[in-house]
Amino acid sequence: MKTLARARAPWKVIWLGILAALASAQERVLHVMVEDPLLAESWELLGTLSREFEARHGGVRVDLLSLGGAAGTMDRVKLLLAGDVPLDLTRIDITELAAYREANALVDLEPYFEGDSDWDPLEWFPICLDALRDERGHLYGLPQTFTPYVMYVNLTLLDSLGIERPAREWSWEEFHAICRQVTADTDGDGRTDRFGVSLTQWLQALAPWIWQAGGELLDRSGRVSRWNEPPVVEALTFLHTLLHEEGVASDDATFENQQRRGLFQSGRTAFYGPVGYWERFRLRAVREFEWDVLPLPRHRRAATAVAMSVYVVPRTARHPELAYAFLREVLGGLPYQTRMGAIGNGLPGLIEAAHSAAVRNPGVPPASFDVFFEVLGEARFLPTLANWRKIESLCQAELEGVLLSGDVAPEEAARRMAEKTDAYLDLERRREARPRLPGGVMSAAVALALLFAVGLYLTRRGPPPARAGRAEERAAGAFLSLWAVGFFAFLLGPAVVTLVLSFCEWSPLRPLSDMAYAGFDNYTRLWGDGTFHTSLVATTLYALLSVPLTLALALALALLLRATSSLSSAVRTAVYLPAILSPVIVAALWHVLLDDDGLINDLLALIGAGRPRWLEDPSWVVPAFVLMALWSVGTQMLVFLAGLSGLDPTLEEAARIDGAGPWRRFVHVILPQLTPVILFNGITGLIAAFQIFAQPYVMTQGGPGDSSRFLVLYLYESAFRHLEMGYASAIAWVLFLLLAILSFALLRSSRRWVHYASRSVGR
Amino acid sequence: MRRLVLLAVGLFYALPLLFMLEVSLQAEGRGLVDGPGVLLRDGAHFENYAAALGAMGGVPRLFANTLLLTVVSIAGQLLCCSLAGYAFARLEFRGREGLFLCVLATMLLPEQVSAIPRFLLFRWLGLVDTFAPLILPTVLGGAPFFVFLFRQAFLSLPPELSEAARIDGASEWKIYWRVCLPLVRPMLATVGVLTFLATWNDFWAPLLYLLSPDNRTLTLALAGFHQGYNTAVEHMMAATAVVIAPCLLVYFLTQRLFLGGIRTAASKH
């Protein structure tokens, strides 16, 4: 009842009332967000185990939700918690644990573990549990699966080349030598098609090299980076040599597209790594060659990284005690843990499950299964920092310059990584010292804006109408009311609040009362933010290229297709169809088309052109998106067609009689009449171009480097991945101002070039 | 020559879709290295489709969700925007011009500018992870562009129409509903079609609000499937083909409506 009384809005009281009534009338529902739905067998098992759990705990219903296995899943849990959606238990990635813990978004499970007589921490891998503890030693959850990073090896390939299989303790030099021996152009077409190693390149896979060289990512305090030290440069230089100077490593194994090409899978690389246990699942279909795993080659010391998924209880849990019971009995139980390991996506955290015959599965590679356990002594997690994902994203952008495109010197990248990381850590420290925004400021701002709008209307609306007009005015009010509510609540009101938010700093995982006042800091930060600069330049470049090109192409197509014949009508359909497809579909499709070996490059090869690495080369990625925009010009073409059909035919006829050729007729007769349509297409195209989001989100996640981190993508990431709502609001306002200025400039200039003839289309 | 150019253009635009079909039918795990022609050698593998749908999970549910959202959005958008457009076009009230200018100006306001406070609003209402955050803004607010389109359509009707009805004693609602609305049917079709495309293809709002798997839409599921760590390229293309199919079906069934709709919108700006 207390919560009901404290709720601020009548709406919320009603809402909570309904929920409370429902909850008391029905059983307790436990919302559990679990792993990948791809794994049908684990899903079934989980269903059975949940039914058993329900039978043991009367009046409980378990609602299993699948999280999905995609890159965006980490964001989804954040959105659920930020959106205050009740969730009792959820899977998260260990690299995000600190972010949740720092925002106080997780339930400290220590009291539950202490009160649990059956709990024996020794049943679990110590390295896993340690990562789940805070500095006081309190435990926040249990592992689902984990894996150290190892190296996969194609034994058949090594044997066929007469290369001796490396020992378990092998060095960078041996690794390097084998890579050189394997690399070859087997079909003599001038392109290497057999590589030493398919090298993975995300930060977690890269950290082992740095550690082996004797380096560290951050210093002990977690306040200063150590990127700019010789071991880091040495590791980066080594990888850069493999990838670019000698070309003995292939770069197909980036985080985004490791599944698309898979050179190791097709038997064309000797090594693949550093990667985790999950590859066993992907390689299950390989019959053509024998493969195994090895510890990573070592340098000054042996080291490897660990990845882990864990189950935690969020603050929004309605039934934390039941969630704990479910965690212990089902998710931490032997059957589930064993099944997870047997599927092959990761090793179970429960020791007994990890060593079970079902997981070991002797008939199935790798023969050296024990390597995964042997390397645990040298395995480490990435640093635990609340803002780690932001730092990861900052560094990843630099790393791609060294590893993927290869045109940035390792020293240069290391220096910039250190700079960016330190600047961000600095920002974090300043953040702690900020004053809280007094409560009510936000509401006051909204009220003020509303008052201002009403005042403006009342003073500017003019004299009252005559008696007869009053009824009409009332009717107008009624007609507009529905729309006006939405207009102010969802469009104009929020835009004003965004402006206020851009002067604040706040993470949506925290309550509203934790909002801090930041002054102009968000804007000054934008000014000095290299990522934002790149983003702004990329977005502007995309708009400058795509808008005129799509306009020209759409107009050309419209002219070509305006005749009425069955062929041109069929072609019209073919041209228009892509325009009705969702950007997500277009992105999914073009991601494959633009692959190194995709259709576009095959076509380019036919005409003897080069094979651009569209999505891996920073200078080709924006043109790649422009190409996609050109494929989706159908709507603009239709608008031009409509414009063309509205032209005055007598003018063209007159020009023809006067002896004007097709080009002259186009320039002097058709084009002037079409200028209003061009203006319309130009402005709508401009707005759409600046809002490009789904394509980079699906295809590149902003990479390589920051070269496709367009403004809206950066806004989304800032707000909902790095949880910087204030900063994201500042980006939103810059975006709006930019668009407003450009549109006004275009409209202004249109007075000089747009002709509204008597019979032209338009008003 | 002209026919040749036409054919080349048509082929260029159709090729990506044909390529998608080809990859979706090749044997799993081949990747793209083999190039075209692999179908002829290996034969078509239709089982990719079953596997892809199974892996994406709950496809009927995804369809149902997307359809529900689309239908409700279209109905709401048509009612709300036509009412507003009617008021702006055919009813006299104080401040009409100023307010309408305001509507026009918001056409330049990107959705993302209001996204964050909107999220806070729906969180406060406890509506995150429901369909409400997707439906309410379209049903209540409506796109300014559509209000504008309806205003243009209603303006083109002769004023005598309403006057005659008024003399007959019809209420404003009746004039709108019985007299004027039936006369702007083409515009209803236009806005309906544009709303269909916008809702069916939307990605931003579902990404922010539809978080539980049972609430996902087709595009959201496809994006997730595409980024999955274990998705084979053949399955990805098969899933893409399946998601494209209903769009094409709707397009071919309502081609006239579609093309007419876009054309009306284009000639009214």
Among B140, B203, B248, the residue with its CB nearest the CB of A583 is B203
Is A85's CB within 8 Å of B111's CB? no
pLDDT for B81 = 92
Q: For CATH 3.40.190.10, list the domain ranges present in chain A.
A: 2-121+131-142+310-341
pLDDT for A24 = 53
Strand partners, A152: A272, A293
pLDDT for A2 = 40
| A613: amino acid identity, one letter | R
Distances (CA, A) of A674 to A644, A680, A683: 7, 10, 14
What is the DSSP pairing of strand A60-66 with strand A269-275?
A: unpaired
Tell me the per-residue pLDDT of B196-249, one tens digit each, with 9 for 90 and over.
888 888 899 999 998 888 888 888 888 888 776 667 788 888 888 888 888 888
Give the alpha-carbon dihedral of A650, A655, A659, A661, to 10 degrees: -110
Helix (H) / strand (E) element for A306: namely strand A304-312
Q: For CATH 1.10.3720.10, list the domain ranges present in chain A.
A: 525-753
Crossing angle of helices B59-90 and B185-200, in 10° steps, is 140
pLDDT for B267 = 66
CATH of domain A2-121+131-142+310-341: 3.40.190.10
Sign of CA dihedral A433, A438, A443, A449: negative
What is the DSSP pairing of strand A28-34 with strand A89-93?
A: parallel
Tell me the per-residue pLDDT of A248-289, one tens digit each, with 9 for 90 and over.
998 777 665 555 557 888 889 999 989 999 888 878 878 889
Helix (H) / strand (E) element for A752: namely helix A725-753
* DSSP-derived secondary structure letter, A432: H
Is A483's CB within 8 Å of B142's CB? yes
Helix (H, G, I), strand (E, B) or coil at A278: coil
pLDDT for A308 = 94
pLDDT for B95 = 84
pLDDT for A669 = 85
Distances (CA, A) of B14 to A88, A571, A573, B21: 48, 9, 10, 11
Q: What residue segments make up the domains of chain B, in order of their start?
A: 59-224+254-268
Q: Which residues contact A731 (CB under 8 A, 6 or more apart)?
A: A526, A532, A711, A714, A715, A718
Instruction: Look at residues B133, B117, B136 and name the one whose alpha carbon lies nearest to residue A494.
Output: B117
How distant is the alpha carbon of residue B229 from its chain centre?
29
How distant is the alpha carbon of residue A652 from its chain centre?
52
Give me the count of residues in chain B. Answer: 269
Scanning every residue of chain A, which has its alpha carbon at the shortest distance from the alpha carbon of B266?
A639
Residues in chain A where the model's pLDDT stays below 50:
1-8, 758-763
pLDDT for A254 = 67
Distances (CA, A) of A193 to A262, A264, A594, B253: 13, 11, 19, 47
pLDDT for A411 = 94
pLDDT for A3 = 42
Is B28's CB within 8 Å of A83's CB? no
Cis peptide preceding A463, ω within 30 of 0: no
Is A762's CB within 8 Å of B269's CB? yes
Helices within A183-241 (DSSP H only) = 203-212, 230-240
pLDDT for A158 = 95
Which of B66, B91, B116, B235 best probes binding to A when mutated, by most A CB atoms within 10 angstroms? Answer: B116
Tell me the per-residue pLDDT of B20-37, one tens digit each, with 9 for 90 and over.
888 888 776 666 655 556
From CA B61, how far away is CA B67, in angstroms rounded? 10
Find chain B residues with C-beta within 8 A of A261's C-beta.
31-33
pLDDT for A320 = 92
pLDDT, average across residues B63-68? 92
* Backbone conformation region of residue A254, classed left if phi is above 0, alpha if psi is from -120 to 50, else beta: beta
pLDDT for A4 = 39
Which of A3, A32, A265, A585 best probes binding to B when mutated, by most B CB atoms within 10 angstroms? Answer: A585
**A652 within 8 A of A665, measured Cβ to Cβ:** yes
Instruction: Look at residues A485, A518, A486 and name the one whose alpha carbon lies nearest to residue A500.
Output: A518
Distances (CA, A) of A572 to A305, A563, B13, B14, B248: 54, 10, 10, 11, 14
CA–CA min distance A374, chain B (Å)? 26
Q: Which residues contact B4 (CB under 8 A, 6 or more apart)?
A: none
pLDDT for B45 = 78
Q: Which residues contact B232 (CB under 8 A, 6 or more apart)?
A: A259, B28, B29
Is B123's CB within 8 Å of A84's CB? yes
Instruction: Look at residues A88, A121, A81, A85 and name the one whose alpha carbon lies nearest to residue A102.
Output: A81
Is A495's CB within 8 Å of B5's CB? no
From CA B128, how far away is CA A449, in angstroms rounded? 26
**A604 within 8 A of A610, measured Cβ to Cβ:** yes
Q: Would you tell me which CATH number, out of the four given (2.60.40.10, 1.10.10.10, 1.10.3720.10, 1.10.3260.10), belongs to the domain A525-753? A: 1.10.3720.10
What is the DSSP pairing of strand A89-93 with strand A291-294?
A: unpaired
Chain A touched by B233 (CB under 8 Å): yes
Q: Provide the number of CB pairs (under 8 Å) joining chain A to chain B.
A: 378
Strand partners, A310: A92, A143
pLDDT for B143 = 83
* Domain B59-224+254-268 class, CATH top level: mainly alpha
pLDDT, average across residues B80-94? 90
CA–CA min distance A460, chain B (Å)? 7
**A522 within 8 A of B116, measured Cβ to Cβ:** no
Find chain A residues with C-beta within 8 A of B167's C-beta.
none
Find chain B residues with C-beta within 8 A of A498's C-beta.
113-114, 116-117
Q: Which residues contact A311 (CB under 8 A, 6 or more apart)?
A: A89, A90, A91, A92, A141, A142, A143, A144, A327, A331, A332
Tell me the per-residue pLDDT of B164-190, one tens digit each, with 9 for 90 and over.
888 888 888 888 998 899 988 888 888
pLDDT for A512 = 81
3-state secondary structure A364-414: CCCCCCCHHHHHHHHEECCCCCCCHHHHHHHHHHHHHHHHHHCCCCHHHHH
Cis peptide preceding A274, ω within 30 of 0: yes
Find chain B residues with C-beta within 8 A of A716's C-beta.
112, 207
User: A247-262: b or e for each residue (b if 16 or more CB lie within 10 Å)?
Assistant: bbbbbbbbbbbbbbbb
Find chain B residues with C-beta within 8 A of A590's C-beta.
16
Give me the count of residues in chain A. Answer: 763
Find chain A residues with C-beta within 8 A of B251's C-beta.
577, 580
